[in-house]
């Protein structure tokens, strides 16, 4: 099916990961600033690469091991205003760490997770949701090879996996610089954590919290403010 953003359209029928709240959260939370190069790991339909292109002048590489996903990302990007700034590669992160012609200012990923859960039957869901194809250690080791001293790695994870990832990141010399704890509604516990990791330890990492839906089952003001560049319903009509 297709999903309409404020400035681009995404088809996601062939991709391992459908367009969803996790991608919207991560793509809206990352601040590219003056970044010149960005890597999207596990791009799926290309949504995060497109979001980064919209809010930056960076050149973006997007990788995915699932060929139909990579092909769909190529199509989506070709239909966008930023086709000249995004390249898509059908390869693993480990391969890309060997073959890449540059290091990146930002690496962004909505990675495989739920390492301890019952594995889904669908091969596409298996690729998207489980660590079998890309362990946290492998993701971090390859990411470190593609980062320079001032780079950042930005990621979204379930709360149950975040502590394991942060501990593994520390083993690779990466420290938390910024986090956002996300609750679906006010009375439920957090279910996602967005984290930015850097090589330099921050004395007091920036920690924030957000609720997606208010008690009236409407998007919270904070969520609307964060996603205003991308959600169609955030756009003012004339």
Q: What is the pTM of this model?
A: 0.90
Residue predicted with more confidence, 238 or 98 = 98
User: What is the average pLDDT value for the chain, to the nearest integer?
Assistant: 89
Sorted by where each begins, the domain ranges of the chain are 2-233
Nearest Cα neighbor of 207 from 170, 162, 167, 164 is 162
171 pLDDT higher than 90: yes
Neighbouring residues of 46: CB distance < 8 A, sequence distance ≥ 6? 10, 40, 62, 72, 73, 74, 76, 77, 86, 88
Determine what percent of the chain is predicted with pLDDT higher than 70: 88
Given a contact cutoff of 8 angstroms between Cβ atoms, the answer to whether 206 and 178 are in contact is yes
| Domain 2-233: CATH superfamily, name plus number | Vaccinia Virus protein VP39 (3.40.50.150)
**Bridging pattern class, strands 192-198 and 175-183:** antiparallel
Minimum mean pLDDT range among 61-70, 113-122, 175-184: 113-122
Nearest Cα neighbor of 202 from 165, 179, 180, 176 is 176
120 pLDDT higher than 50: no
Phi, psi values for residue 222, rounded to 5°:
-70, -40
Neighbouring residues of 127: CB distance < 8 A, sequence distance ≥ 6? 16, 65, 66, 112, 133
Say what the pLDDT of residue 234 is. 59
pLDDT, tens digit (0-9, with 9 covering 90-100), for 78-99: 999 999 999 999 999 999 999 9
Given a contact cutoff of 8 angstroms between Cβ atoms, the answer to whether 176 and 166 are in contact is yes
Query: Distance between CA 236 and CA 33 in Å, rounded?
Result: 25
């Amino acid at each position: 099916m297709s999903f309409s953003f404020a400035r681009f359209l995404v088809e996601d029928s062939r991709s391992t990961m459908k367009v969803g709240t996790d991608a919207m959260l991560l793509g809206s939370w990352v601040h590219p600033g003056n970044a010149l190069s960005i890597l999207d790991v596990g791009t799926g339909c290309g949504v995060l690469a497109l979001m980064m292109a919209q809010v930056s002048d960076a050149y973006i590489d997007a990788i995915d091991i699932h060929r139909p996903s990579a092909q769909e990302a190529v199509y989506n990007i070709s239909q966008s205003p930023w086709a000249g700034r995004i390249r898509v590669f059908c390869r693993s992160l480990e391969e890309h760490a060997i073959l890449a012609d540059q290091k990146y200012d930002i690496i962004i990923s909505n990675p495989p997770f739920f390492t301890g859960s019952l594995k889904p039957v669908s091969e596409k869901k298996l690729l998207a949701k489980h660590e079998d194809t890309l362990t946290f250690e492998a993701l971090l080791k390859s990411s470190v090879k593609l980062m320079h001293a001032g780079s950042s790695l930005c990621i979204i994870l379930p709360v149950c996996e975040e502590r394991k990832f942060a501990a593994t990141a520390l083993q690779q010399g990466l420290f938390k610089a910024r986090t956002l704890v996300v609750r679906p509604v006010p009375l439920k516990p957090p279910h996602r954590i967005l984290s930015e990791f850097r090589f330099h330890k921050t004395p007091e990492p920036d920690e924030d919290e957000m609720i997606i839906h208010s008690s009236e089952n409407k998007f919270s003001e904070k969520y609307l403010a964060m996603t205003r560049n991308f959600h169609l319903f955030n756009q003012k009509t004339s």
